[in-house]
């Protein structure tokens, strides 16, 4: 390999590293037009700060263009909406409706167990902090099967006349006591998780990967994923983009992300 070829390869690598969106904060800056394609920061008062022309040119670069998961027409309409000269839309790190989906591994009673922690920012003092908003663990869900038919039991409507001693029979060898709760009952997996952690039954092992979900742009949902690959289209990129027609569709998407369906 000649010296010129090596120099060219190094130059290409440097350009790729510069083009890659390596941090979440950097994604916010690039989405808002507060940084150019070379990583140069713009601040309020700078001519290029949040410039619509810069954003129209640069926002398409922070979409995943390799996997084909994003409809080109939808992306074009999205970019047109957020870069409108009269009413541009931006992301606010501290105020917008967004969350982190953290895929983790824990030790649970001596065995490895995968689960998801849903994290949100909340104000704290003069700043903010990440908090656990909810969790999803298949190992917890298997203990709740309210819709069983073969083992369905109920407490007789005259149980009160027997001092509710019917509970003895109901609870005997019954692994689905949730059958005796109201129709609206939903397990609180976050409380179960905290109980198991505090009781010493669960130990954190590691984080496998992280995704982010954004609802801060009215009428749309998009996710952010980290693509560790060569080339310019790498780093933290918009990995899915879905139009939301109304508040009901927005809630349905949140329920899907939180594994509530």
What are the sequence ranges of the domains in the chain? 3-97+215-257, 98-142+187-207, 146-186
Q: Are 241 and 78 in contact (CB under 8 A)?
A: yes
Ranges of residues in the chain with a pLDDT under 50 are: 1-11, 13-14, 16-17
Other Cβ atoms closer than 10 A to 42: 18
| Phi, psi at 68, each rounded to 5° | 75, 25
pTM: 0.84
The contacts of residue 200 (CB under 8 Å, 6+ apart) are none
What is the torsion angle, in degrees rounded to the nearest 10, for the CA atoms of residue 33, residue 35, residue 36 and residue 42? 100
State both tokens at 46: 């700078």
Return d(Cα 58, Cα 28) in angstroms, integer. Answer: 12
pLDDT value of position 219: 96
3 state SS of 61: helix
pLDDT value of position 148: 52
pLDDT value of position 117: 98
Question: pLDDT by residue (tens digit) across 77-125?
Answer: 999 999 999 999 999 999 889 999 999 999 998 899 999 999 999 988 8
pLDDT value of position 64: 93
DSSP element (H, E) containing 17: helix 3-19
Helix, strand, coil share (%) of the chain residues, nearest 5: 35, 25, 40
């Amino acid at each position: 390999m000649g010296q010129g070829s090596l120099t060219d390869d190094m130059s290409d690598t440097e350009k790729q590293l510069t083009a890659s969106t390596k941090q979440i904060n950097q994604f916010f800056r690039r989405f808002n037009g507060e940084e150019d394609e070379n990583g140069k920061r713009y601040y309020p008062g700078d001519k290029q700060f949040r410039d619509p022309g810069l954003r129209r040119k640069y926002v398409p670069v922070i979409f995943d263009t390799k996997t084909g998961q994003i409809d080109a027409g939808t992306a074009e309409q999205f970019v047109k909406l957020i870069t409108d000269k009269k009413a541009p839309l931006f992301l606010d790190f501290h105020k917008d409706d967004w969350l982190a989906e953290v895929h983790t591994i824990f030790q649970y009673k001596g065995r490895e167990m995968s689960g998801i922690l849903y994290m949100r920012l909340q104000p704290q003092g003069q700043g903010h902090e990440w908090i656990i908003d909810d969790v999803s663990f298949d190992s917890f869900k298997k203990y709740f099967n309210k819709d069983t038919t073969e083992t369905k039991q109920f407490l007789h409507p005259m149980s009160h006349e027997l001092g509710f001693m019917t509970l003895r029979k109901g609870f005997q060898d019954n692994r689905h006591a949730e059958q005796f709760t109201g129709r609206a009952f939903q397990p609180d997996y976050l409380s179960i998780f905290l109980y198991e952690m505090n009781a010493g039954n669960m130990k954190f092992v590691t984080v496998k990967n992280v995704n982010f979900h954004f609802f801060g742009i009215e009428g749309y949902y998009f996710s952010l994923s980290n693509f560790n690959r060569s080339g310019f289209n790498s780093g933290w990129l918009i990995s899915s983009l879905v139009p939301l027609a109304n508040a009901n569709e927005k809630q349905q998407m949140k329920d899907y992300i939180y594994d509530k369906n």
